[in-house]
Structure formats: structure tokens, C-alpha cells
Structure 1
């Protein structure tokens, strides 16, 4: 099981590696503070140690993506843009979801005896928001905060199954990574698998992300009925024979429904 995790770590430099352009963009955003609500190209150039024209190019790139906006109150420079507010809203929403999920996940672990995971999609990847441990150690590629592609593992496939059609087309347009012999990388085959997941209301996968690991996942829905996350359990595959799988599927689906209800109740009282 650890071999897959190590192999992916070696091939994920696009996710984890340093990127000078991204680093410069983050440096610029982190310059903002309570006493510095606007930045000029000259200030950015001085901080980054680059030419003013280069700094302005970075600022324009951030502006075109909505992270900055040109100062509209007559002063020089750039202010934080609407995309930053969107990210702050999503961060608050994610924290709220984790808080609602933790007691449900603890109960799911008690019922199944296996680790429970809460994941959500973030663009072309899946993020593990929470992981509730069981009494035994199971090496998984999903750790809290882990970012992985969307085509492997029951939780990822649930999120992909209910992705908007336009997002799905875009996600399946490029090459899909393979983790084990069981990973689906053919877009047509994957579409068929996703249709079955939507029909059944859950995903069950064996060895698609980590060899010898079974994952069972169900969708978590927000107050508007859209799928906002996936709740799942992961187990050493021999511990969950086919005859026992329906019991675990029922437990995961009931937990996902309970969490969906908690989200609706929180929205109604918020």
C-alpha cells in the first residue's frame, strides 16, 4: 500500500513542486495588510527585486483572474479583488462542513471499524478535508489536506459522478493518471462507471488508488440538493469480502444522508 503512495509522491510535482510564477503571485497577495490596502507596481517591484515592468505584469495577471482590482477611489495601485472574497467564503464554508461532519464520521468509524474520510472537489482535483481514524493503522493516499486527481478512489468518483456536465467534459479531456491496474483512465469507460454510480447512489472500488484497499463512498448534499462532498470509508480489502460489502454500503449511505440533513438544518438556522 505504501508503494502507491510513494510512487504518486514522485509523480506529483505539478501539485507539490515550487513554481516561481505562483510564488511571486502569492508574495504579492501576502503584501496586503490592514495598513496596506493598496499596492503600486513600484512597491511590488521593490519587494520582489524585479523591474517595475515585470511587477506590473504580475499585477495585471492577478487582476485578469480577479484576485486584484485597480484602485477605483482615485488613488494609485491595486486592491484585493472579488476572487479573494470568493476563496474566503469557500474556506469558511469548508470549515463549517468539517465541523458538521466530525461527529457523523466518528459514528461511522464506530459502526464500521474503518477510517472515515470527508472529501470535496476543488477544480481538477479532490481534497481530503477530514479523516477520522479507526483503532488500527491503514496506509492510504488520502491524508488530511491531500490533493489528488479525480479519477481514482471511491470518494473521488462520487464527486466526479455528480460534477456539472461542462466540468466533467473538461476533466476528462486530458490524460488521466494511472495508479494501479484497476484505475480507469479511458474516458468512455469512466463515463460508464460514473453513470452506474449515479444510478446506485454510491461508489465501491477495490484497489483503484491504493492496492489492496477497498473504498465505499456516498454523496453529501448541500441545502440546495447539489453534491458538495463525499463521505467514505476505506479498509484493507480482504477484511471486507463481497458478502459483507452491502452492510458497509448501507452504513456509509446512512451517514452521508445524516450529514446532508445536518447541512440543511444548519442552513435553515443560520
Structure 2
């Protein structure tokens, strides 16, 4: 019985340690023991003990001045291993490089994680704009071009689940009306690409297209992003063609052949 209790306690500790790690985000890059205790519903002593263990292994670091914790380099190391092992990352890299040369803008590769998109690869242009697109960053799917592509071609129930979570406004043109979002996603499916203008970050525009695996399933999205001043309205049709072509090339490298799509 004692052995079983120890196993249960160990599993609980692992679960809570993982919950702590997942609490860190771009919006909350540092966390205090008291904040984690409240948000996770754990005793401060438990949080403090788990953070100390994670710090010993390099998964978090404690700021000596503020007492707050941030993610450590061990997380980055594991993240790099995951990224390098992703087939889509390997196959899309040369396509993204060409897309950057063709458009003059920064390109990203994104996948869906729950209701968010995660950037797993990035090819910088010669004159990048400062936007929130670093690798590993999560962004709400409904207000990015990549995210809209991913949920547009996903099972329909995800759209309603996202709407039920609430469509928060992040910038001047964030889509917060459920019906408008549904119509936008229908349009994306018809034309094969998505555009986001000042929906997540003010003054920026992105164009995204889907990448399919050998079964025809959309598994990722490729995009280019830049300031509205460079990505003007009249340029979007041409940029969209280049992005869609890049998406098709990456899909082919993943084994997709549209001739066999049912």
C-alpha cells in the first residue's frame, strides 16, 4: 500500500511540474510562486518545491532580484530536438527560403496546438519587422493568417469551440464577430489562402496557405509577414500566388498528390 501511495504521489508531482512548465507563455514569461499557486490551485510549498527541482535540472531559472521564475535552457534544448525531428520542418525549409527570396518578406511555418498556432520554423528576410513571431510562440488561431488557414481546413467543431472560448480583440481589425469569422473561414477554403491585416499586431499583414501531408490532410501552414507599408493591397494577389505555390511545393515534398485527393 505504501508503494502504491508513493507511485501516486510521484505521478501527481510529475503532472503538477508539467502544469507549471505549461503556465509560462510569451504573455507571461515569468511567474512567481504565489501566482502559480493561485492559478494552478496548488499550495505555495508544493509550487516552491517543484520549481526548485525544475531549476536544478535547468528547466526554469530564478531571478535573484525579483524572485520570479522563467524558463531555462533545458526547455530550449528539448524544443530544438523536437523541431529538428519534425518531417514538415525538414521538407518545408528549402521552400521557405525560396519564398523569402521571391517575396522579400519573412516566412514562417506553423502548426495547430489546441486553439493556438505555434511557429516551428522561421526564415528571416533582409529587412524584418518587429512582430511577435519567434519560434515556439503561441498565438490565437483566429487572428493570424496561419491560424485561420489551419482551423478553416480542420474539423468544423473546432471553430465553434474557439468561438465559445471568446474572440478577444488584440488589434484594430481582430475579428470578434462569430458570423464574420465563419464567413472568413469559408472564403479561405474556397480561395486557398488567408490574409490577416492588423488582427494580432497593429500595422502588419500576413498571407498564409495550407501544407498537406500524403493523405491530403492540412498539417501545417506557410506564410509571409511584413508591414502594411510594404505588403500593400495591390500586391496581395501576387503574394498569395507565391505563398500558395510554396504550400503546394511543400505538400508535394510531404508526399501529397492532388490527383488522388478524394
Give SS of 1:120's match. Answer: strand
Distance 1:137 1:167 in 2: 32
Structure 2 matches for 1:10-159, cutoff 5 A? Answer: 12-13=27-28, 17=31, 19=36, 91=82, 95-159=86-150
Distance 2:97 2:225 in 1: 14
In the other structure, the counterpart of 1:42 is: none
> How many Å apart are 1:244 and its aligned residue?
1.7
> How many Å apart are 1:16 and its aligned residue?
7.0
User: What 5-or-longer segments of structure 1 have no aligned partner?
Assistant: 1-8, 32-90, 266-270
Distance 1:113 1:92 in 2: 25
Q: Is the 8 A contact 1:151 1:185 kept in 2?
A: no
Q: Is the 8 A contact 2:193 2:208 kept in 1?
A: yes
Distance 2:166 2:233 in 1: 32
Number of equivalenced pairs: 198
Distance 2:215 2:189 in 1: 18
Give SS of 1:211's match. Answer: coil
Q: Deviations over 1:112-136 (max 9, x none)?
A: 0100010010112110011100011
In the other structure, the counterpart of 1:242 is: 233
Give SS of 2:249's match. Answer: helix
Distance 1:151 1:17 in 2: 27
| TM-score (norm: length of structure 2) | 0.67
In the other structure, the counterpart of 1:211 is: 202
Distance 2:31 2:223 in 1: 28
For the aligned residues, what is the CA RMSD?
3.1
Q: Deviations over 1:201-244 (max 9, x none)?
A: 10112111111111000011111111101000001111122222
Distance 2:30 2:106 in 1: 25
In the other structure, the counterpart of 1:160 is: 151
Distance 1:17 1:123 in 2: 23
> How many Å apart are 1:11 and its aligned residue?
8.9
Give SS of 1:151's match. Answer: helix
Task: Work out which of the residue numbers 212, 224, 230 in structure 2 matches 1:233.
Answer: 224
Distance 1:120 1:10 in 2: 17
In the other structure, the counterpart of 1:268 is: none
> How many Å apart are 1:151 and its aligned residue?
1.3
| TM-score (norm: length of structure 1) | 0.65
User: What 5-or-longer segments of structure 2 have no aligned partner?
Assistant: 1-23, 58-81, 257-262
The structure-2 alpha-carbon separation of the partners of 1:143 and 1:99, relative to structure 1 and needing over 3 Å to count, comes to same
> How many Å apart are 1:93 and its aligned residue?
9.1
